[in-house]
Structure 1
Amino acid sequence: MGRIIMFITQKKLLKDFQIQRPRLILPILVVSVVVLLVIYTTQDISTLIYRNYEIKDRSTAYNMGILLNKIFVEDVLLSSSKPPPGRTIFFHETTCYHPVTLFNVMNLTARQACAIESAASNNPNFQVFLLFACPTYRPLSGGQKLLIDAIESYKNVQFRQLNISNYARDTPIEDWIKKGDLLNSGFPMQHTADLLRLISLYRFGGIYLDMDVVVLRSLENVPLNYVGAHDNITLGNAVISLEPTGKGHEIAELFLRDYETNYNGKAYVKNEPALVTRVVKNLCGNDLVKLMQEGRISCQGLTVFNSTAFYPLGWPQWKHYTEPKYLEETMAITKDFYLIHLWNKASYKGLIKVGSSTALGIYAENHCPRVYTAAGDYF
């Protein structure tokens, strides 16, 4: 069985890399053998995320990335170009598509790519970092490469990978990560994503955005330290902004400590909006709901926007973005907002035909035109 897996892995790597130079084939095969020898046969995605750089021979794989014209994405902590504190917009990708080999090929959807392009185009003075939770390499051909090329045509877009153990070092969550509770998560990708956004903001400050948004306006002049309400009860975690120092850094620490205290590996949402709501309610007091109803408020230096800023339509209304019959109504509702949130868990199958008269199509054409062009027939 091991020989069969090894053969399939080697064949897959050769196909993905499309290496034409024979002298490079042997090193690639050696790397794949080394990696296979250290992976548990029953390893799942959460273990992959956890262990990706703890392999002794990981430096070999990293050097291979340099040798192969930087096919592999750099580690964010080892790179000479790091996120500028307080001047970075973060996105995170925790899917990890190749758990057998530990090598994750970039595999973004057109809508994810649109989120990145819209952030970069509307915020040219901010750096936009997409962080992968696994060792990742770039696609060398096909539609995926067209999307990646469209994003990287913006000089303020950076791709990096990270190792969660290293990334959590010197943060309040470091010891908890070492305990390995995240390995037992029933929703490893989601819970890792929930945690990484908090670590990024603790380390660098700036703005975190989910990858199912389209940014419609600049966020550069909005003072850092803010979140937005889903409704009059719950705050969202798809948009979080914190200063790298001072009160913002203190709030980031509160978020991380709450994550550890209230972590539930079996619950899908307890570590998401509920976390932000708990922490901010403690900052604002018991009048948070009333204050949210009144609009934008400030609690100990943290601004809370009501739903008109980032979540103009709730998840049950996601079809308003994708169906032509809602076009005029949706455009009227959302035209002055900072961004739209597409609620990917509900909307990911609701693809639209490129060029269709939908709110999503019009916003994509205006705010992520290069990705929209590269998407093909459907977006």
Structure 2
Amino acid sequence: MWRKLKIPIFLLFIVTGSFFIRDIIKQKITQDSLIHNSPAYRSSIAENAANHNTKPTFDYEDMIKRNVLQQGNNIFFVESTDRLNEPALVLCSIESTARMYPDRQVVFFMEGLGDIVTEDDEKTVREHYPTLSAFKNIYFLPLKLDKLFAETPFMPWYKKIDPKKEIYWTYVKSDSSRIALIWKYGGIYMDTDVISIRRIPEDHFLASPTLTRLSNGLFGLSSHNKFAWEFMENFVQNYKGEIYGHQGPMLFTRVMHKHCGPPKFTSVDHFKCGNIFYFHPDRFYPIFYPSWKKYYEVWEHLPTFNNSYGLHLFNFMNKQKKFMIAGSNTLVEHLYQQYCPSTYEGILKNKTTLY
């Protein structure tokens, strides 16, 4: 009897043992998968690579800079604070631009972002902004000034500046980074309170908020343009951090006035300085900053803005924290509905912050 049962019992041990070992292996694979796809693990890999002066096998940021930014067909936005929960106006600005320029890369540089090493990291960032995630031409990258300023006139200045002693450091960072981005990669820079409503017909341009001054809130230049380099040099040589706008609109105005003087507009047509077009105030500033509240008012007859490419909403003036209210019938609500409908829908569903 024992001899008859000996072989089946032996086989039973083998089968049972194989299932047990298979379950152990399966659990180990599952655990490894969870660990290797966790943010903590990816962070440790990136940190280890930095400590050993090596790079991960795939670096998303480097890939984007090599394969996307180097094309020179970029539109840049910059967030120079560590804020990640962006207000609706910022989301609307980026969305309207991505819709208006589906053939261009819209790149949002954010100081608050950590390293984006893998495609999963990038996916996580995109999921944080559901109203923008469907646009394939929108990219999110961390703003790293030490790397951005390398091999530019900004680097020596940046190494010796003490941000704690600066009154307007957030604005200074933004003013400097936008010039460096355009110098290195070329394209268009826009402030995050500009709603795009028509395509800009020129690649090399500066915007005029008045008939005599220039703005740094919107401009377009090719990479390594001589004016961008001169902006950086003048920024450093004449740095006055205690004066608001000295490194911004005043910088652009004083540099370009040396070459062509103030704009000489006789109509809304462009004024040309060398190979750069000056845009009439109506192109981006049809409602000038003293009247910025009109965007948040109800209009009996909505303006057409037929001469405008974009609308600058002067958010730095918005100390009263006015924002778009769904159902208010204000001008800004109509702009959201028409030019950034995903952001508008997100507000209706309470998926985004308001400001």
TM-score tier after normalising by the smaller chain length: 0.7 to 0.9
* SS of equivalent to 2:103: coil
**Does structure 2 conserve the Cα–Cα contact (< 8 Å) formed by 1:206 and 1:243?**
yes
Match of 1:207 in 2: 188
| Closer, same or farther: CA 183–166 of 1 in aligned 2, 3 Å | farther
Contact 1:321 1:327 in 2 (8 A): no
Determine helix, strand or coil for the equivalent of 2:157: helix
Query: How does 1:272-287 map onto structure 2 within 5 Å?
Result: 272-285=248-261
Residue from 62, 69, 81 that aligns with 1:83: 69
RMSD of aligned Cα (Å): 3.5
Q: Which residue of 1 aligns with 2:293?
A: 319
Distance 1:257 1:29, change over 3 A: same
Match of 2:147 among 158, 162, 166: 166
Equivalents in 2 of 1:305, 1:27: separation in Å?
A: 46
* Amino acid paired to 1:328: H
TM-score, normalization by structure 2: 0.76
Conserved? CA contact 1:118–1:216, under 8 Å: yes
Give the equivalent residue in structure 2 for 1:235.
214
Counterpart position of 1:342: 313
Amino acid across the alignment from 2:89: R
Scaled by the length of structure 1, the TM-score of the pair is 0.72
Q: Would the aligned equivalents of 1:76 and 1:161 in 2 still touch at CA under 8 Å?
A: no
Residues 356 and 74 (structure 1), Cα distance of their counterparts in 2 relative to 1, 3 Å cut: farther
Amino acid at match of 1:89: I
Q: Residue 100 of structure 2 contacts residue 197 of structure 2 at CA under 8 Å; is this kept in 1?
A: yes
Mapping for residues 225-304 of structure 1, pairs under 5 Å? 225-245=204-224, 249-285=225-261, 288-289=262-263, 291-292=264-265, 294-295=267-268, 296-304=270-278
Amino acid at match of 1:302: I
Q: Distance in 2 between matches of 1:204 and 1:341?
A: 24
1:369 paired with 2:345, answer no
Kept after mapping to 2: 8 A contact 1:146/1:374: no
**C-alpha distance in structure 1 between counterparts of 2:67 and 2:86, whole Å:** 23
State how far apart, in whole Å, the 2-side matches of 1:231 and 1:338 are: 16
CA distance in 2, matches of 1:173, 1:224: 24
Query: Residues 259-300 of structure 1: CA distance to partner in whole angstroms, max 9, x if unpaired?
Result: 111211212211111111111111213xx15x0455421111
Distance in structure 1 (CA, Å) of the matches to 2:62 and 2:309: 28
Percent identity of equivalent pairs: 25
Secondary structure at 2:278 match in 1 = strand
Give the letter for the 1:241 counterpart: G
The offset of 1:253, in angstroms, is 0.4
Structure 1 window deviating more from structure 2 (126-135 vs 344-353): it is: 344-353
Q: How far apart, in 1, do the equivalents of 2:336 and 2:143 lie?
A: 29
In structure 2, do the counterparts of structure 1 residues 133 and 93 end up closer, same or farther at CA, with 3 Å as the change threshold? same
Aligned residues: 309
Please state how far the C-alpha of 1:116 moved relative to its aligned partner.
0.5
Which amino acid letter does the alignment assign opposite residue 287 of structure 2? L
Which AA in structure 2 matches 1:117?
E
Matched, 1:305 2:279: yes
Q: Which residue is 2:7 aligned to?
A: none
Distance in 2 between residues matched to 1:78 and 1:215, nearest whole Å? 24
| C-alpha displacement of 1:128 | 0.2
Which has more radius of gyration?
Answer: 2
CA-CA distance at 1:166 after TM superposition:
1.1
Partner of 1:118: 96
Over 3 Å counting, the alpha-carbon distance change for 1:134 and 1:350 in structure 2 is closer
1:34-59 deviations in whole A, cap 9, x for unaligned?
xxxxxxxxxxxxxxxxxxx9xx8683
For 1:151, what is the secondary structure of its paired residue?
Answer: coil
Structure 2: 5+ residue stretches without partners: 1-32
